[in-house]
């Protein structure tokens, strides 16, 4: 049935310029956990909200202690076959780009060029006072200097790049500030409770406008920032396909749903669209 479904998806999308909308499920095979996929059931973890982060020094201390522990793991992640397949679709002219809800940068590492990151990227941080940006490896080095006694404890990692850290370590963790004005630093990502920047959304909407179809990969579409593209595509009478290893909010709205591992299904889809193995 899966083979038939992916053939159906290829028939639906063949000859069309397709926008790919990706979520956390495409990165799970790179080792990054997700929030809502099958492997995340029972995790029961509540992420920090934007309001909590900007309003509490203690919350920021907790965030940066956990992020400091989790960054080496995130930095070591590499694209998987799903990312490579999406990049191949763009290179072959079958996709006009990627709109991603992910903050890991793996699409770009795999070779995708037209990428809009709805929720930002963990590889940079920004000062909330003066707007100065800093690359994350630079900040990681400064955090290490401020916390020379810190020893990572092989923690459990989380979807947003942080990790479980004991409370006693959090309590002593020293947070780095902006090198220019000593202001508060925030990862350049969209937190829960924070809106996608207007210019980012406009770029993503324009890409959908230029596309003939929409392909959703690895997203449950629970968050409105992703689901609205399905709504807009259907309103414009554009075909919509979903490839995901689990149920999604858009299952009843789309033309075809294929369920299974993206690392297996997306390379097959890319090959079919390119005319191989047909």
Give me the DSSP letters along 225-269: HHHHHHHHHHHTT--EEEEESS--TTTTTSSEEEES-HHHHHHHH
* pLDDT greater than 50 at residue 39: no
Other beta carbons within 10 angstroms of residue 38's beta carbon come to 11
Higher pLDDT, 161 or 190: 190
Clarify whether 119 is annotated catalytic: yes
Note the pLDDT tens digit of each residue in 42-98.
444 577 899 999 999 999 999 999 999 999 999 999 999 999 999 999 999 999 999
Closest CA to 261 of 214, 217, 226: 217
The whole-angstrom separation of Cα 54 and Cα 5 is 46
Instruction: Record the tokens describing residue 45, joined without a space.
Output: 């973890």
pLDDT value for 158: 67
71-92 burial, b if ≥16 CB within 10 A, otherwise e?
bebbeebebbbbbbbbbbbbee
What number is the average pLDDT over the span 191-196?
92
pLDDT value for 204: 98
Spell out the domain ranges in the chain: 1-32+78-119+191-278, 42-76+122-189
Note the pLDDT tens digit of each residue in 217-270.
999 999 899 999 999 999 999 999 999 999 999 999 899 999 999 999 999 999
Q: How confident is the model at residue 166 (pLDDT cuts 50, 70, 90)?
A: confident
Please tell me the pTM assigned to this model: 0.91
Homologous superfamily, domain 1-32+78-119+191-278: TPP-binding domain (3.40.50.1220)
What number is the average pLDDT over the span 183-206?
96
pLDDT value for 233: 98
* pLDDT greater than 50 at residue 278: no
Q: Which of 8, 83, 107, 119 is catalytic?
A: 119
The CATH architecture that domain 42-76+122-189 belongs to is: 2-Layer Sandwich (3.30)
Q: How confident is the model at residue 41 (pLDDT cuts 50, 70, 90)?
A: very low
Q: How confident is the model at residue 2 (pLDDT cuts 50, 70, 90)?
A: low
pLDDT value for 1: 39
127 contacts 181 by C-beta, under 8 angstroms: yes
Say which residues have a Cβ less than 8 Å from residue 183's Cβ, sequence separation at least 6: 127, 128, 129, 130, 177
Note the pLDDT tens digit of each residue in 112-162.
999 999 999 999 999 999 999 999 999 999 999 999 988 666 567 766 677
Edge-to-edge strands, sheet with 185-189: 133-135, 120-127, 185-189
* pLDDT greater than 70 at residue 276: no
pLDDT value for 125: 98
């Amino acid at each position: 049935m899966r083979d038939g479904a992916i053939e159906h998806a290829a028939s639906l999308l063949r000859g069309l310029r397709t926008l790919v909308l990706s979520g956390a499920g495409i990165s799970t095979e790179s080792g990054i956990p997700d929030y809502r996929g099958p492997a995340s059931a029972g995790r029961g973890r509540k992420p920090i909200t934007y309001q909590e982060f900007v309003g509490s020094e203690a919350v920021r201390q907790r965030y940066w202690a956990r992020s400091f522990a989790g960054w080496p793991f995130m930095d070591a992640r590499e694209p998987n076959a799903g990312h490579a397949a999406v990049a191949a679709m763009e290179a072959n002219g079958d996709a006009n780009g990627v709109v991603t809800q992910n903050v890991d940068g793996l699409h770009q590492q795999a070779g995708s060029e037209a990428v809009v990151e709805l929720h930002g990227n963990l590889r940079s941080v920004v000062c909330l006072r003066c707007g100065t940006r800093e690359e994350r490896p630079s900040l990681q080095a400064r955090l290490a200097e401020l916390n020379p006694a810190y020893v990572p404890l092989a923690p459990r990692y989380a979807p947003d790049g942080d990790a479980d850290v004991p409370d006693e370590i959090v309590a002593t963790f020293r947070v780095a500030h902006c090198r220019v004005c000593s202001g508060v630093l925030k990862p350049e990502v969209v937190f829960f409770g924070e809106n996608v920047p207007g210019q980012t959304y406009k770029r993503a909407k324009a890409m959908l406008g230029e596309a003939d179809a929409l392909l959703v990969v690895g997203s449950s579409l629970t968050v409105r920032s992703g689901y609205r593209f399905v709504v807009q595509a259907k309103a414009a009478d554009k075909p919509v396909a979903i490839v995901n290893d689990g149920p999604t909010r858009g299952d009843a709205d789309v033309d075809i749903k294929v369920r299974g591992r993206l690392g297996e299904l997306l390379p097959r889809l890319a090959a079919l669209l390119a005319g191989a193995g047909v």
